[in-house]
Amino acid sequence: MGFLSSRRKRSRLAPELGDEDLGSLLKSLLANTDLCAAQISQLLEEDRGDWDMRTHRLGVLAHYLTETHVPRTWAAREPDNADALALHAWARVARARHLGSLENATGVADDCLRAAEIVPDDPTPWVILLKVARMDHWAQPQVFGVWNEVLARDRWNREAYLGMLGYLSPEEGGSRIQILEFVDSLVLRMPANAPCVATELTAQVGQYLAILGRGGVEALVARNHWSQAAAKQALDRAAHTWVQPGFLHHARSLADLNTLAYALMAADRRREAAPVFDALGGVVTEWPWQASGDALTEFDRAQRKAAATL
């Protein structure tokens, strides 16, 4: 990750984050469906059993191929291929997120269940089904049932915990109380460097952004959020450990470091943010930077302010 890099790299949006093999694949994917499918299949075979990496790669590929015919055609040609079914399902969910509604939710759910049947120990189809459940407004017992299926296969699945965080939010019919209870129960038992370690800080950043979004006087004093006990403790825990070399090693750790850098700058803890920016090596994620404008512009501005404190 370049934690000790003294030379700032050009900031860039990189959906693959630190996954160089995935980045190379994204640059080389061809229009021919058969070739694309072969390339994708080969990459996914490399991480068979590494559920954290597998979830990351499938998610990035699904978003990258959302506007292409590749996922649909591959799944149609190989209806018994769990990778093809999962990619097709996730691509449809990604497109639905953009459009605001999910067409044929039952069909997408069926593809997830078929993939789960083909590869019973793979949590990824259940991760995707959790997204379907949220978009299709399933009843709470059904949603928690799907979530438990993920955890039975991958105890600390990052995507599942962040998915439940969204499901329990006020925007999806939950409440701040439910989020706090969910996060508190997780922090008590989660390993300090688990793939889902950013769930707590993500919840605090989400609350901070909600305050900003309300505008008026509340937005003017939004920084006070980071002085409250729960927010300060979450930020302290992350700031003190995440930048240690080798501490975070899950596939989407650079996304979590983006969240940490944003939170530290929002709390006006610029000196602590500087080594986080160094660890990022210029890799930028859309969220949460895009909340205030163009993600790259906001990232660069924050990075300059942090560097000025050294």
pLDDT value of residue 308: 93
Residue 4 covered by a domain: no
State which residues form the domain around 128. 13-154
Query: Based on C-alpha coordinates, what's the Rg of the chain?
Result: 19
Are 148 and 17 contained in the same domain?
Answer: yes
pLDDT digits (tens, 9 = 90+) for 60-113: 999 999 989 999 999 999 999 999 999 999 999 999 988 888 989 999 999 999
Are 197 and 149 contained in the same domain?
Answer: no
Residue 179's alpha-carbon distances to 196, 283, 299, in angstroms, are 15, 29, 27
Are 42 and 147 contained in the same domain?
Answer: yes
Residue 5 covered by a domain: no
Are 59 and 128 contained in the same domain?
Answer: yes
The pTM of the whole model exceeds 0.75: yes
Are 142 and 205 contained in the same domain?
Answer: no
Are 206 and 145 contained in the same domain?
Answer: no
pLDDT value of residue 7: 43
Q: Which two tokens stand for residue 205?
A: 């950043």
Residue 30 burial (CB count, 10 A): 11
Are 213 and 110 contained in the same domain?
Answer: no
Residue 253 covered by a domain: yes
pLDDT digits (tens, 9 = 90+) for 210-246: 999 998 998 889 999 999 999 999 999 999 999 999 9
Are 147 and 208 contained in the same domain?
Answer: no
Which residues lie below 8 Å from residue 13, measured CB to CB, with a gap of 6+?
284, 285, 286, 295, 296
pLDDT value of residue 294: 94
Are 94 and 210 contained in the same domain?
Answer: no
Listed residues 105, 126, 154: the one ending a domain: 154
Residue 125's alpha-carbon distances to 51, 144, 250, in angstroms, are 11, 15, 20
pLDDT value of residue 8: 56
Give the Cα-Cα-Cα angle 82, 63, 61 (nearest 5 degrees): 50
Residue 45 burial (CB count, 10 A): 9
Residue 96 covered by a domain: yes
Residue 247 covered by a domain: yes
Phi-psi region of 243 (alpha: psi -120 to 50; beta: other; left: phi over 0): alpha
Q: What residue ranges of the chain have pLDDT lower than 70?
A: 1-8, 30-33
What domain count does the chain have?
2
Residue 222 covered by a domain: yes
Q: Dihedral sign for Cα 21, 11, 292, 251, please.
A: positive
Residue 235 covered by a domain: yes
pLDDT value of residue 47: 75
Residue 293's alpha-carbon distances to 41, 72, 121, 227, in angstroms, are 37, 34, 41, 24
* CATH number for the domain harbouring residue 83: 1.25.40
Return the closest-CA partner of residue 306 out of 281, 257, 267, 269.
269
Distance CA 288, CA 66 (A): 22
Are 201 and 301 contained in the same domain?
Answer: yes
Are 217 and 108 contained in the same domain?
Answer: no
283, β-bridge pairs: 12
Residue 185 covered by a domain: no
Cβ burial of 118 (10 Å; 0-12, 13-18, 19+) is: middle
Are 199 and 257 contained in the same domain?
Answer: yes
pLDDT value of residue 41: 92
